[in-house]
Amino acid sequence: MREWRLVKRIETNGAMQMAIDEAILIARVRGLVPNTLRFFTWKPACVTIGFFQNIEQEVDVEKAKAMGIDVVRRYTGGGAVFHDKELTYSIVLDERNVSFDIIESYRKICGCIIQGLRSFGISAEFTPINDIVVNGRKISGNAQTRKEGFVLQHGTILMDVDIKKMFSVLKVSDEKIRDKMVKSAEERVTSIKREARKEISLEELERELKKGFEKVFGVKFKEDELTKEELEIAEKLCKEKYSTKEWCFWR
Amino acid sequence: MLRIDVEIEGNVIKDIRIAGDFFIHPEEAILLIENSLKGIEKNRVAETINHLLKEKSIKIIGFEPRDLEEVIARI
């Protein structure tokens, strides 16, 4: 059976997390590392925006700063996400191991998450383009990029959700709409805590998600660290790209 | 959702910037798309983008070139 790498869970800030994801992709393209799955958490909480979004339009940057919440632009497209009480995964793999078709590859990778959630009695499904929902409520958002035949996909799995806090940093122009948005978001978003009806630890969730990936892809994971090269690339990307104003405000 | 900042003179696009929660593969191709529209008449937006997508194997997920043309037509 093929062996892929699982990188031990890392807790750090958003700029470094995004830099690590890109560093693994670069290392994979260069043939320095095998296909790799990792899980991570955000400290401090962070808003990420999609590659093509206008930061000022999506995020109250001043308020986020005052609340100690980071704001970082992703390499991947898609929408703005408030990362707080969640487990995030990222997987880097050869597109021949998943699919050349983008929607099909979302479906397959999201299938691993759905498989993992099933072990907690949560019945989730994939809704194209890139969401996982439980009874119509979103529990996971996902985004991918591709580089020279390799795929990087990262996504959230909500452990718990504080919608008021979420909308205090994500921009909604008018107060009336804000109240409506909070109400409608409460109906449109769910979490592990709510769906499993019991406390599930990050370790338990991670273990079951890992099994989901193993089952769907027919592989075994070997736990390992990031390589020295990956860490060097990540530190450089963090400092020179993801932490810079030029990157975060580029459109 | 799309946010388009566009400068138009007569029927011709002088400058354009497209932002939103869509996906383009590869991402950097957004600059090619925007550049391809400079100097183009408003009613040739979809045709111009579709040609570029085909020529450079670019994929857009989240909006259609004709949506963009319709939005610009209304400006």
CATH number where A238 lies: 3.30.930.10
A47, A48, A52: best to mutate for the B interface, most B CBs within 10 A: A52
Residue A120: φ, ψ to 5°: -100, 15
Chain A residue whose CA is closest to B5: A251
Q: What is the ipTM of this complex?
A: 0.95
Q: Is residue A22 a contact partner of residue A84, using CB atoms and an 8 Å limit? A: no
Chain A hits for B22, Cβ within 8 Å: 50, 52, 77-78
So what's the pLDDT on residue A174? 58
Min Cα separation B17/chain A (Å): 8
Q: Please, which pLDDT band fits residue A176 given cuts at 50, 70 and 90?
A: low
pLDDT of A173 > 60? The answer is no
Say if the Cβ atoms of B19 and A52 lie within 8 Å. Answer: yes
Q: How many domains does chain A have?
A: 1
pLDDT of A35 > 80? The answer is yes
Chain A hits for B59, Cβ within 8 Å: 102
So what's the pLDDT on residue A175? 60
Q: Please, which pLDDT band fits residue A16 given cuts at 50, 70 and 90?
A: very high
**pLDDT tens-digit readout, A78-99:** 999 999 999 999 999 999 999 9
CATH number where B68 lies: 3.30.390.50
Cα distance between residue A73 and residue B19, in whole Å: 13
So what's the pLDDT on residue A1? 77
- Determine the structural domain holding residue B23 and report its residue range: 2-73
**In A135-193, beta strands by DSSP E:** 137-147, 150-158
Min Cα separation A47/chain B (Å): 14
Please list the residues that pair with A146 across neighbouring strands: A151
Q: Please, which pLDDT band fits residue A100 given cuts at 50, 70 and 90?
A: very high
Cα distance between residue A220 and residue A35, in whole Å: 11
Chain B hits for A57, Cβ within 8 Å: 3, 19
So what's the pLDDT on residue A95? 97
Which pTM value belongs to this model? 0.95
Q: How many domains does chain B have?
A: 1
Min Cα separation B21/chain A (Å): 4
pLDDT of A182 > 80? The answer is no
**Nearest-by-Cβ selection for B20 from A53, A102, A143:** A53
Cβ atoms within 10 Å of A173's Cβ, excluding its own: 8
So what's the pLDDT on residue B30? 98
Chain A hits for B27, Cβ within 8 Å: 51-52, 75-77, 145
pLDDT of B65 > 90? The answer is yes
